[in-house]
Structure 1
């Protein structure tokens, strides 16, 4: 499949696919007789993996390290797994924080009227607090 088809299938800009190939994140894409990229399932699978890891927040540098370890074969599998596990843990922590924030906002939305003082009441509250503070100061003199 050509780069346009691969780009559409993966929902990734063509420029990103070229960058990933030039960076070594995906294997060099074979060329057809006209010299155009001809993506196979192998490059597509690598691109899917890279896309997932980038979406998870893994840096290009860490992905390059992963690819280099992959190319070293079996002796580096634990190091590869460690890189993926580290990113998994980071993403899980982010999800937990997002879940907390979503729960908080959900609560605020469910109880919005209870938590928001209408503007005029807020203004009155402010004025009352200011007067009380002035009274407290005059009593201490």
Structure 2
């Protein structure tokens, strides 16, 4: 399939696919006899993986490091697992921070009429001074 078809299939823009290739997040895409990129199922899987990890906040550098380990012929499964584990820990910390903020907002909404409105008004008055 070509880049446009892969873009439609994965939901990743053609520009992003080219960026992933340039940064080494996906393998170099072979070209057919007229110079068009030919994307196979392996590359589609890599595009989807990169998309998921980037959406979850994984840095390009960390993703590149992981992909390089996967593509390396040597057995480096422990390094791969460590990198994935580190990333999981970071994602869980971000999730916990987001959950704390969600809980705080829910509390504010649930208690807005009780006392949050008065507290917000008080803060607004202090800002005026």
User: TM-score over 0.5 for the alignment?
Assistant: yes
Aligned counterpart, 2:112: 112
Cα separation, 1, equivalents of 2:95 and 2:39: 34
Match of 2:21 in 1: 21
- For 2:13 and 2:28, locate their aligned partners in 1 and report how far apart those are by CA, in whole Å: 17
Q: Is the 8 A contact 1:56 1:87 kept in 2?
A: no
Q: How much is the aligned-residue C-alpha RMSD, in angstroms?
A: 2.2
Q: Cα deviations across residues 103-122 of structure 1 (Å, max 9, x unaligned)?
A: 11111101111121299x85
How much does 1:74 deviate? 4.9
In 1, distance between residues paired with 2:11 and 2:24? Answer: 20
Q: 5+ residue gaps in structure 2?
A: none
The answer for unaligned runs of 5 or more in structure 1 is: 127-141
Aligned residues: 123
Q: CA deviation at 1:87?
A: 0.8
After superposition, the Cα gap between the structure-2 partners of 1:118 and 1:93, relative to the gap in structure 1 and judged at 3 Å, is closer
Q: Which residue of 2 aligns with 1:51?
A: 51
How far is the alpha carbon of 1:84 from its aligned partner? Answer: 1.1
**Structure with bigger RCO (C-alpha 8 Å, 6+ apart):** 2
Q: What is the TM-score when the length of structure 2 is the normalising length?
A: 0.84
Alignment TM-score, normalising by the size of structure 1: 0.78
Q: 4+ residue stretches of structure 1 with deviation over 3 A?
A: none
1:4, 1:36 → 2: CA distance? 11
CA shift, 1:53, in A, is 1.4
**Which residue pairs with 1:6 in the alignment?**
6
Residues 74-89 of structure 1 correspond to what in structure 2 (within 5 A)?
74-89=74-89
Secondary structure at the residue paired with 2:113? helix
SS in 2 for 1:75: coil
SS at match of 1:104: helix
